[in-house]
């Protein structure tokens, strides 16, 4: 054997061996996409305006404080459009002082004075930062929640680098509805003292306050599922919030119904102790996302270290979900679903079965054709095709690319397309043979002259597959990947390996005047 | 040596006007149908909405399904039967009118309608059993079945439940608990299951809801991807060959894309993501043929200096004919296998490829070469075109 051939043979066997090692056993090494294993695919959007609104609210409070401190007067400070604050009715001779204040302490804001009205606009880079933060925090919170749920191998990622969309892939989830609700809940938990309520409507609620909501209070609704409904008047400032929680567990109350027990961090515990001590006999409302889930009456002072329980007519699952939510923390902004795809495991199993039978049929058809039409050379092509499949699976395993149903279609298509290179070469060799050239000569010119066409045609297929990859979502991406890998592998197997096989067989033969092609 | 074609010498270029007329007719009729007629039917991926795929325990004629939905005011849902067994259906919620529901809530509205469809098709016994606190076996997970078996089989409940659920996943839906014997589940276990669970009348195989924003995005992206892929081809071919070839290649490919779209408008098949994937694949595949022929033309121009350009084109097509037929043939074989055995989910993809492969093979011979010929005739320097 010639030295060059030996090295080529070793290289080929090495690569094929590596691919086999990577891909075997395929059941374990090849990652199945959601459409084949079943699961949920969700695209959600973080409502980033929420983050800007929250920040604006905080800034308004700060402004009010500072106005008071500096003895500035203003009729009101109100929120305008998103990221805007207006201060109407600034007394003209105060303008300088207000400007100084804004310059000094509110550098995140641009401001203009028109007449007596000052308008503050949040700087766009600050807005962008807040939006970006909101998405990152939401991503983190959702990841925590999914981890708490114990979903195996979840994919949670941001769509694009700066978008407000998050893509979630959760394989093998039994109860998609529950997971969807769990992820979507903002989960801001607050304890607020009740000033009045519950009442059937707002008017009844406010009778003892002269029909208007006091400055330091707000009207909230009772969650119809958890309470008897109705309206509550509660303090604006929360006594403790979800951020003060330290340990959260599912528990049962004294009547053995599901509940959630909690303990507080030292600071929150002290506040809780003081407020409960001062308000014995009053109700304290527990609000989840601004809805009252229960409003127990304070019977005694609750010591800082003892914690308590949250009741809310929970089922076991609901109590468990609340635990997950409280442990994972609140979302910084609201969330909206844009796309939901749930695939049951049965459909995935069925797809694999059908994909497999289509694949086997395709392989057999193509192989039979090649062997019948090209005889021994056909066997050569078939070997190249098998190696192509081995390399394809090896590469899929190596890149951890998910195999999807369209991906299976891509593999099947590759079977049909990969033999193209062999066909091009064989037809050229036949032509060369017909002109009366020797076998060795025909093989070598056949390969070299077919190569440009093979290269150009495969490259264009890869170009279009790359555009497909750019555009695609999950399953289509899987398709583009298998097509790209399959075509690239076919360049190696159909050109390099196939040539090697020809060279090996021809080199071993004594009579070199007949060729089976 | 087995050969499809002996040395051929067909005057393909003679039929160029006929071919132009044929393609023109198909494409114009298709475009007319798209613009003025039935148009293209976008699937859930592009138009938004909910697609629910259900498997029923016992056969139910499509008329009954429709009637059940009609009674609940869901009559405008699109119902498609999957198997002949009348057990599997794909139901798509009708598009919601903009004034009915705020754009913001579209997704949830579809979800609610989806839930109603599933609830409507569940049998009365299901609801009664569920109210008694029984668990729907056909929709339960491993965790629930483990809980059911725990009291009677404290040690092996989890492994038993996994075996049972795997069997059900394999079957899709169980009609009778007795079927579990096939999986080697003992009668005692089956009787425990019978006591605490019931066989629900349907299971949801898959459910997809696409909101209007995503649909719009996907539509834009699909169009962009197709156009950029075509531009990519133009640039590549123009760089590797000459501008004339690049222009011809891109026109040929546009031809293939338009023919495919025309077929879709005539057959009123839905266009979903996999269909776009197939169209882009056709763009990549159809150009293979074209390149192989152009590659030959490039060779032959050097070898046949004395011959008229039309003869060079004809010779090139003839020389590459068997290769073109064989490759299109092998791809066709694989696509046919996909179409016949690949199952419902991949069927649209396979159908698109089928159309594309045929159109691609035809267009290489009858479109790409004639276009190069005319381009050279009009813009050529006269060196290559000899009259």
Residue B105 has pLDDT above 70, yes or no: no
* Percentage of residues of chain A with pLDDT beyond 70: 97
Looking at residue B221, its pLDDT comes to 87
Work out the average pLDDT over B28-57. Answer: 90
The alpha-carbon gap from A352 to the nearest alpha carbon of chain B, in Å, equals 9
Q: How far apart are CA A423 and CA A454, in angstroms?
A: 10
Q: Decide if A310 contacts A296 (C-beta within 8 A).
A: no
Cβ contacts of A400 within 8 Å, gap of 6 or more:
A31
Q: Quick one: pLDDT at residue A51?
A: 87
The full length of chain A comes to 517
Give the max Cα distance, chain B: 93
**Mean pLDDT value across residues B201-225:** 87
C-alpha torsion angle, residues A123, A128, A129, A131 (rounded to 10): 120
Tens digits of residue pLDDT in A430-483: 989 988 888 888 999 999 989 988 998 888 888 888 988 887 777 788 889 999
Average model confidence (pLDDT) for chain A?
87
Residue of A nearest to B272 (CA): A476
- Which residues from B are below 8 Å from A416, CB to CB? 330-335
The alpha carbon of residue B221 is apart from the nearest alpha carbon of chain A, in Å, by 6
In which band, very low, low, confident or very high, does the pLDDT at A484 lie, cut at 50, 70 and 90?
very high
Q: What is the pLDDT of residues A66-90, one digit of tens each?
A: 888 887 776 678 888 888 888 877 6
Our CA-based measurement puts residue B49 at a distance from the nearest CA of chain A, in whole angstroms, of: 10
| Smallest Cα distance from A354 to chain B, Å | 5
Give the pLDDT score at B385: 43
Most distant pair of Cα atoms in chain A: their distance: 113
Q: Which of A345, A375, A457 sits opposite B291 (nearest CB)?
A: A457
Q: Residues 307-346, chain A: which have Cβ within 8 Å of B?
A: 336-346
Query: Average pLDDT, stretch A327-346?
Result: 88
3-state helix, strand, coil in chain A (%, to 5): 55, 20, 25
The number of C-alpha atoms within 13 Å of B28 and in the hemisphere containing its C-beta is: 6
Please check the confidence at residue B95 and state whether its pLDDT lies above 60: no
Q: How would you class A244 by CB atoms within 10 Å of its CB: exposed for 0-12, middle for 13-18, buried for 19 or more?
A: buried
User: Residue B229's pLDDT is what?
Assistant: 87
Both structure tokens of A434: 């017909």
Q: What is the mean predicted confidence (pLDDT) over B304-317?
A: 90
Cα(A40)–Cα(A43) distance, rounded to whole angstroms? 10
Q: Of A357, A374, A412, which is closest to B334 when you measure between CB atoms? A: A412
Q: Which residues contact A217 (CB under 8 A, 6 or more apart)?
A: A195, A233, A234, A235, A236
Asked if the Cβ–Cβ distance from A406 to B214 is below 8 Å, we say no
Touching B: A residues 30-59, CB under 8 Å: 35, 43, 45
Q: How confident is the model at residue B384 (pLDDT cuts 50, 70, 90)?
A: very low
In angstroms, rounded to a whole number, what is the distance separating the alpha carbons of residues B301 and B299?
6
pLDDT at B96: 56
Q: Is the pLDDT of residue B21 over 90?
A: yes
Question: What contacts A129, CB < 8 A, 6 or more positions away?
Answer: none
Q: Is the pLDDT of residue A192 over 50?
A: yes
In this structure, of A162-176, A240-254, A500-514, B90-104, the range with the lowest mean pLDDT score is: B90-104
Residue of A nearest to B221 (CA): A471
**B323 to A517: CB separation less than 8 angstroms, yes or no:** no
Helix segments in B173-242, DSSP class H: 187-196, 212-240
Please identify among residues 8-47 of chain B the ones whose CB lies closer than 8 Å to any CB of chain A: none
Nearest to A476 among B169, B273, B333 (CB): B273
pLDDT-derived band at B107 (thresholds 50, 70, 90) equals low
Query: Do the strands B41-42 and B270-271 form a parallel or antiparallel pair, or are they unpaired?
Result: parallel
**Whole-angstrom distance, CA of residue B23 vs CA of residue A445:** 38
At A499, is the pLDDT very low, low, confident or very high (cuts 50, 70, 90)? very high
| Collapsed DSSP state (helix, strand, coil) of residue B118 | helix
Helices and strands per DSSP (H, E), number in chain A? 15, 17
Local structure of residue B209 (DSSP, 8 states): E
Which residue is listed with tokens 């519950």? A198
Nearest to B334 among A175, A366, A475 (CB): A366
* CA–CA dist B277, B279 (Å, integer): 5
The CB density around residue A161, as the number of other CB atoms within 10 Å, is 6
CA-nearest of B319, B263, B256, B247 to B283 is B256
Tokens found for residue B50:
């909910």
User: What pLDDT score does A464 carry?
Assistant: 86
A255 has pLDDT over 80: yes
Q: Taking residues A493-517, what's their average pLDDT?
A: 80
* C-beta atoms of A424 and B292 within 8 A: yes
Q: How many Cβ atoms from other residues are within 10 Å of residue B74's Cβ?
A: 20
Closest CA to B77 of B108, B50, B47: B50
pLDDT-wise least confident of A159-173, B83-97, B120-134: B83-97
ipTM of the complex: 0.85
Residue B99: pLDDT band by 50, 70, 90 thresholds?
A: very low
- Chain A residues closer than 8 Å to B203 by CB: 344, 346
Return the pLDDT at B142. 85
The whole-number average pLDDT for the span A188-204 is 85
Within 134-173 of B, beta carbons closer than 8 Å to A belong to 140-144, 168-173
Q: In this predicted structure, what is the pLDDT of residue B103?
A: 47
Is pLDDT at B1 greater than 50 in this prediction?
Answer: yes
**Average pLDDT of B258-287?**
90
For the beta sheet containing A258-264, the strands, ordered from the edge strand earlier in sequence to the opposite edge, are A245-252, A258-264, A308-310
| B chain contacts of residue A427, beta-carbon cutoff 8 Å | 320, 322-323, 326
Q: What is the pLDDT of residue A75?
A: 66
Ranges A269-283, B310-324, B368-382: which has the least confidence: B368-382
Residue B216 pLDDT grade (very low, low, confident, very high; cuts 50, 70, 90): confident
CA distances from B275 to A134, B126, B256, B345 (A): 36, 38, 14, 11
- In this model, does residue B33 exceed pLDDT 90? yes
Q: Of B57, B55, B56, B74, give the one whose Cα is nearest residue B66.
A: B74
pLDDT digits (tens, 9 = 90+) for B166-197: 899 888 899 889 889 988 888 999 999 999 99
Q: Interhelix angle for B243-267 vs B369-379, to 10°?
A: 130
Does A361 contact B345 at a Cβ distance shorter than 8 Å? Answer: no
Q: B341 to chain A: which residues are within 8 Å by CB? A: 354, 357-358, 361
Is B127 in contact with B143 (CB distance < 8 Å)?
Answer: no
| Cis before B53? omega within 30 | no
With a CB-CB cutoff of 8 Å, which residues 166-225 of chain B face chain A?
A: 168-173, 203-211, 213-214, 218, 221-222, 224-225
The residue of chain A with its CA nearest to that of B225 is A467
Select, from the ranges A92-106, A297-311, B78-92, B331-345, the one with the highest average predicted confidence (pLDDT): B331-345
More confident residue, A284 or B102: A284
Question: CB pairs below 8 Å between A and B: how many?
Answer: 237
């Amino acid at each position: 054997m010639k030295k060059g051939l030996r090295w080529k043979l070793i290289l080929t066997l090495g690569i094929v061996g590596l691919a086999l090692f990577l891909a075997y056993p395929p059941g374990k090494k090849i990652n199945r996409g959601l459409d084949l294993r079943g699961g949920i695919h969700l695209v959600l959007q973080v409502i980033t305006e929420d983050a800007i609104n929250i920040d604006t609210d905080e800034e308004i409070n700060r402004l009010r404080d500072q106005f008071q401190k500096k003895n500035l007067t203003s009729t009101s400070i109100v929120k305008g459009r998103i990221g805007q604050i207006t201060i109407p009715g600034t007394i003209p001779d105060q303008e300088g002082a207000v400007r100084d204040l804004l310059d000094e302490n509110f550098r995140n804001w641009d401001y203009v004075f028109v007449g007596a009205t000052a308008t503050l606009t949040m700087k766009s880079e600050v807005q962008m930062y807040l939006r970006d933060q909101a998405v990152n925090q939401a991503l983190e919170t959702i990841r925590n929640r999914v981890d708490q749920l114990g979903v195996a191998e979840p994919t949670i990622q941001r769509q694009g680098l700066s978008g407000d969309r998050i893509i979630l892939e959760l394989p093998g989830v039994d109860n998609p509805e529950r997971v969807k609700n769990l992820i979507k809940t903002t989960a801001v938990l607050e304890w607020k003292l009740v000033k009045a309520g519950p009442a059937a409507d707002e008017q009844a609620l406010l009778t003892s306050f002269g029909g208007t909501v006091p400055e330091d209070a707000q009207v909230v609704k009772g969650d119809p599922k958890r309470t008897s409904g109705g309206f509550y008047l509660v303090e604006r400032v929360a006594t403790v919030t979800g951020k003060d929680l330290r340990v959260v567990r599912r528990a049962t109350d004294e009547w053995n119904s599901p509940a959630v027990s909690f303990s507080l961090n030292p600071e929150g515990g002290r506040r809780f102790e003081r407020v409960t001590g001062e308000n014995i006999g009053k109700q304290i409302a527990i609000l989840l996302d601004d809805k009252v889930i229960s409003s127990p009456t304070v019977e005694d002072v609750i010591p800082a270290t003892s914690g308590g329980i949250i009741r809310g007519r929970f089922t076991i699952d609901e109590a468990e979900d609340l635990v997950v939510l409280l442990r994972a923390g609140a979302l910084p902004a609201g969330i909206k679903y844009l796309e939901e795809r749930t695939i049951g495991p049965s459909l995935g199993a069925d797809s694999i079965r059908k994909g497999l039978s289509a694949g086997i049929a395709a392989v057999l058809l193509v192989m039979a054709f090649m062997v019948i039409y090209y005889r021994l050379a056909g066997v050569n092509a078939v070997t190249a095709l098998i190696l192509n499949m081995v390399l394809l699976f090896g590469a899929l395993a190596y890149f951890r690319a998910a195999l999807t149903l369209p991906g299976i279609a891509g593999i099947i298509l590759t079977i049909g397309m990969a033999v193209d290179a062999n066909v091009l070469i064989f037809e050229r060799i036949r032509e060369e043979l017909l002109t009366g050239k020797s076998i060795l000569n025909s093989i070598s010119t056949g390969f070299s002259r077919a190569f440009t066409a093979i290269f150009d045609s495969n490259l264009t297929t890869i170009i279009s597959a790359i555009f497909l990859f750019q555009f695609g979502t999950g399953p289509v991406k899987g398709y583009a990947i298998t097509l790209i890998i399959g075509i690239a592998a076919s360049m190696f197997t159909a050109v390099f390996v196939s040539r090697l096989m020809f060279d090996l067989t021809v080199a071993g033969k004594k009579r070199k005047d007949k060729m089976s092609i | 040596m087995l050969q499809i074609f002996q040395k051929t010498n067909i005057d393909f270029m003679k039929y160029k006007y006929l071919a132009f007329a044929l393609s023109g007719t198909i494409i114009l009729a298709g475009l007319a149908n798209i613009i003025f007629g039935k148009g293209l039917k976008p699937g859930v991926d592009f138009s938004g909405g909910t697609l629910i795929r259900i498997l029923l325990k016992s056969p139910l004629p499509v008329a009954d399904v429709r009637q059940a939905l009609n009674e609940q005011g869901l009559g405008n849902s699109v119902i498609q039967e999957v198997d002949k067994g009348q057990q599997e259906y794909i139901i798509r919620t009708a598009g919601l009118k903009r004034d009915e529901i705020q754009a913001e809530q579209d997704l949830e509205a579809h979800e609610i309608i989806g839930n109603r469809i599933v609830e409507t098709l569940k049998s009365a016994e299901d609801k009664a059993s569920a109210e008694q606190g029984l668990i729907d076996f056909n929709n339960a997970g491993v965790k629930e079945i483990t809980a059911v078996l725990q009291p009677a089989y404290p040690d092996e409940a989890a492994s038993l439940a996994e075996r049972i659920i795997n069997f059900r996943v394999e079957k899709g839906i169980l009609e009778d608990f007795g079927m579990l014997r096939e999986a080697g589940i003992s009668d005692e276990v089956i009787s425990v299951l019978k006591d605490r669970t019931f066989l629900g009348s349907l299971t949801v195989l898959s459910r997809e809801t696409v909101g209007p924003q995503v649909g719009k995005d996907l539509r834009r992206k699909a169009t962009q991807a197709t156009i950029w892929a075509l531009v990519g081809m133009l640039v590549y071919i123009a760089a590797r060959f000459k501008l004339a070839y690049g222009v011809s290649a891109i026109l040929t490919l546009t031809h293939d894309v338009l023919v495919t779209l025309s077929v879709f408008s005539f057959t009123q098949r839905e266009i979903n993501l996999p269909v776009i994937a197939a169209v882009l694949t056709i763009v990549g595949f159809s150009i293979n043929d074209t390149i192989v022929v152009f590659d030959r033309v490039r060779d032959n121009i050097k070898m046949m200096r004395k011959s008229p350009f039309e003869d060079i084109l004809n010779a090139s097509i003839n020389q590459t004919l068997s290769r073109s037929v064989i490759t299109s043939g092998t791809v066709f074989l694989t696509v046919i296998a996909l179409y016949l055995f690949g199952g419902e989910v991949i069927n649209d993809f396979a159908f698109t490829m089928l159309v594309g492969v045929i159109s691609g093979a035809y267009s290489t011979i009858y479109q790409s070469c004639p276009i190069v010929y005319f381009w050279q005739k009009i813009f050529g320097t006269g060196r290559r075109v000899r009259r």
